[in-house]
Amino acid sequence: MNSKQISYLRGLAHNLNPVVMISNKGLSEAVLKEINLNLDAHELIKIKVAGDDRELRAQLLVDICAQTNAVAVHHIGKQLVVYRKSATKPKIVVPVK
């Protein structure tokens, strides 16, 4: 995705509430399942991460995107935003350019 597409998705994510919370226990199979379910349902989701380790949150974002085939949209503070286009019926139309 190019920077304009990421910027568009960031704008859409601004008003979203976190749908998944990651506790201090980290990224478990149950959390990944919830992330996948929410990506299937909404395409663009916000995830809240507990803990104060910025490097750990950045690594969580990379891990989530790798394991769910999603795109990292934004990481600010304890919030992560990820996007995955629906395979069957896309809800969000991302601009081509």
Q: What is the DSSP string of 2-69?
A: -HHHHHHHHHHHTTPPP-EEE-TT-S-HHHHHHHHHHHHHHSEEEEEE-SS-HHHHHHHHHHHHHHHT
> What's the pLDDT tens digit per position in 35-64?
999 999 999 999 999 988 899 999 999 999
- Is pLDDT at 97 greater than 80 in this prediction? no
> What's the pLDDT tens digit per position in 61-89?
999 999 999 999 999 999 999 999 988 88
User: What angle separates helix 29-42 from helix 54-68, to the nearest 10 degrees?
Assistant: 60
Tokens of 15: 């008003």
- Read off the pLDDT band of 95 (50, 70, 90): confident
Other Cβ atoms less than 10 A from the Cβ of 38: the count is: 19
User: What span, in angstroms and rounded, lies between the C-alpha atoms of 61 and 70?
Assistant: 10
Q: Is the pTM of this model over 0.75?
A: yes
- Read off the pLDDT band of 10 (50, 70, 90): very high
What pLDDT score does 91 carry? 87
Helix (H, G, I), strand (E, B) or coil at 95: coil
User: What span, in angstroms and rounded, lies between the C-alpha atoms of 43 and 40?
Assistant: 6
